[in-house]
Structure 1
Amino acid sequence: MNHISEPISTTHAGRVRPGDHLCLPFASDAQQQEVVSAFIADGLRRGERVLYFADRTPPDVIDAWLDPRGVDGALAIARGQLEVRVVGDDRPEQFGIRDAVRDARAAGFQGLRLTGEMSWALREKRGSTARVHEYESGVASTVTDVKDLAAVCQYDERLFERTELTGLVSVHHGVLCIDPLHDDRQLRIVPTYSPRGLRIAGVVDDGTALPLAAALAEAEGWSSGEPLLVLDLAELSFIDVAGIRTLVRFAESVAPERRVRIKDMPASMRKVLHLTRWSLEDVDESP
């Protein structure tokens, strides 16, 4: 069976290591929360200190983000392992990143993770991103110099011009993305946000139908504010009867106010549905 390919420029939230300077372009609040909370939770579990520069997000919300991941954010704050600083009119660099790294070492932590909301850049002089690039270059050089620092810069795609954002993303080592819900040599299942759903890649058969069912169950538990769930099958190389049965049962079980859309259904799957007479009446299929 073929290996499932992945762009070199992406790093999963659970695989960030010291020396990484990554960018998180996000298109929804759910994407920001899930990816950033995974990044923070992984750092806390590794014994690292985490420094968060908040601009648009209230500090107490960041604490609450960690609850679904089984991490006590309030405790981490109380013992000095997690700190949230409001940017305000200052740029994050003015808070002293190098000093923060030194303080983390002195306190006995394994290293420092920092992440910041880059919406403060919109308050910079309009018509030029030179100062933002200058800031990013400073972060990059600091990450390279101090060795035990990882940094993630958050850019809200709803606020920045596309051409401007493309240039800012390119000055990072790569892009941060959410960890797959399942990932082995046969099957990878990754949450998507625009649209909200799952990208299912690889092979679904008797051996991988259970991980698929578990991922679908987790997706069903996502906010009821997401009425449409899109299952992207463009990278699905094979699906057998067990896998199709899993999808059909899931589609039949979702709440009445929600819909499931199948994107890029393989011809083989359509044929099996026809032969078995299984119904996907509740599934809105898109080409």
Structure 2
Amino acid sequence: MRGHGQVSELPDATAHDHVCWVYRDDAELHAVGMEFLAGGLARGERLLCVGDRMAEGLRRDPGALGGVAALSAAGTLAVLTLAEAYVASGGFSTERQRTFYDAATRRALADGYTGLRVLADVTALAGDPVHHDELVRWEHAADEFMANGPGMSALCGYRADLPEAALADVTAVHPLVHSAGDGAVPFRLFFDGRRLVLAGDVDTLGAERLTRALRSSPVDAGAPVLDLAGLRFADVAAYRAIAEWARSLAGDGEPVELWNAPALLRRTWRLLGLDEWASVSFASAA
């Protein structure tokens, strides 16, 4: 399984990394970002920095990563503004971003790199009501792309002074999350290969957020799989959110497989009559 969970330190670089890092200040973002990019250099990946804060940090630290100018001249490092990477080409959308990063990753591979490693500060998009919902949709779709695509990894930076609801939305769709202070991340919905994984706790307050995340999940042909092995707690509202998602897919001929569902969920599912309302199958797959 991909690395996942709430972290206090940046894990070692691996393939398919997708980290959400909630940071307190620019110094923290720069330090963690350089560590993340250094891991990519060690893996032979091309590096892409996105955001004004990232560009400013590199200008102030030209010796970072062994020499910013030399890496840029060699084509190993590129720096883009937020507008250039996320809002260009007709506006911000999940489809445009996937096309943009798929092309960038494939260019990196064609140029002899092992993949593309992206460091992006997207605080401005998360705090903008115009872009926020589409950003969350993109983050979830991006996770599927990183889990199954040609070779992209990313660390997404979000400043800690964003509204609590905005941070909860973006942290919920990353497998690896660092939160500022002692803040807990209630649940995470992410991809492990083609299956979705739901881990953590989903109560009534989080059920609406789970509903939105599930609705935005890119589902390939074949029976969708939701792995619940990491689900510690879920209430009736969470069960109904899962059932609503399963029912919407069944309407398209896609019965959902629920893997490793807790015994309490399976009993409650039947008691609530959800088995008659939404077509799912339960399995104990590893």
Structure 2 length-normalised TM: 0.52
**Corresponding residue for 1:281?**
none
**Corresponding residue for 2:112?**
108
**Corresponding residue for 2:15?**
18
Decide whether aligned partners of structure 1 residues 16 and 45 sit closer, same or farther in structure 2, where only a CA change above 3 A counts. Answer: closer
Whole-Å Cα distance in 1 between the matches of residues 73 and 157 of structure 2? 25
Task: Tell me, yes or no, if the aligned pair for 2:126 and 2:135 is still in contact at 8 Å.
Answer: no
Work out whether 1:57 is the aligned partner of 2:38.
no
Deviation at 1:18, TM superposition (A): 1.4
Give the secondary structure class of the aligned counterpart of 2:53: coil
The residue correspondences of 1:1-287 to structure 2 (distance < 5 A) are 8-10=5-7, 12-13=9-10, 15-54=12-51, 56-57=52-53, 59=55, 61-65=57-61, 67=63, 71-88=66-83, 89-90=87-88, 91=92, 93=97, 96-122=100-126, 124-126=128-130, 129-158=132-161, 160-175=162-177
Question: Equivalent pairs: percent with the same residue?
Answer: 21
Deviation at 1:135, TM superposition (A): 1.3
How many aligned residue pairs are there?
A: 170
Task: Tell me, yes or no, if the aligned pair for 2:16 and 2:151 is still in contact at 8 Å.
Answer: yes
**Structure 2 letter corresponding to 1:137:** H
Whole-Å Cα distance in 2 between the matches of residues 19 and 93 of structure 1? 17
Q: Could you list the per-position Cα deviations for residues 185-204 of structure 1 after superposition, in whole angstroms to 9, with x for gaps in the alignment?
A: xxxxxxxx869xxxxxxxxx
Decide whether aligned partners of structure 1 residues 18 and 153 sit closer, same or farther in structure 2, where only a CA change above 3 A counts. Answer: same
Structure 1 stretches of 5 or more lacking a match?
1-6, 178-192, 196-287
Deviation at 1:77, TM superposition (A): 0.6
Whole-Å Cα distance in 1 between the matches of residues 66 and 154 of structure 2? 20
C-alpha RMSD over aligned residues: 2.9
Whole-Å Cα distance in 2 between the matches of residues 123 and 157 of structure 1? 11
**Corresponding residue for 2:223?**
none
Decide whether aligned partners of structure 1 residues 14 and 8 sit closer, same or farther in structure 2, where only a CA change above 3 A counts. Answer: closer
Whole-Å Cα distance in 2 between the matches of residues 66 and 194 of structure 1? 30
**Structure 2 letter corresponding to 1:48:** E
Whole-Å Cα distance in 1 between the matches of residues 42 and 35 of structure 2? 11
Q: Could you list the per-position Cα deviations for residues 67-123 of structure 1 after superposition, in whole angstroms to 9, with x for gaps in the alignment?
A: 2x5611111111000001112244482770000110000000121101211123157
**Moved segments of 4+, more than 3 Å:** 11-14, 63-66, 89-92, 122-126
Task: Tell me, yes or no, if the aligned pair for 2:34 and 2:65 is still in contact at 8 Å.
Answer: no
Whole-Å Cα distance in 1 between the matches of residues 176 and 133 of structure 2? 20
Give the secondary structure class of the aligned counterpart of 1:115: strand
Give the secondary structure class of the aligned counterpart of 1:57: helix
Deviation at 1:8, TM superposition (A): 4.1
Give the secondary structure class of the aligned counterpart of 1:110: coil
Structure 1 or 2, whichever has the larger Rg, is 1
Decide whether aligned partners of structure 1 residues 44 and 14 sit closer, same or farther in structure 2, where only a CA change above 3 A counts. Answer: farther
Structure 1 length-normalised TM: 0.52
Decide whether aligned partners of structure 1 residues 63 and 12 sit closer, same or farther in structure 2, where only a CA change above 3 A counts. Answer: farther
Greater helix fraction, Structure 1 or Structure 2: 2
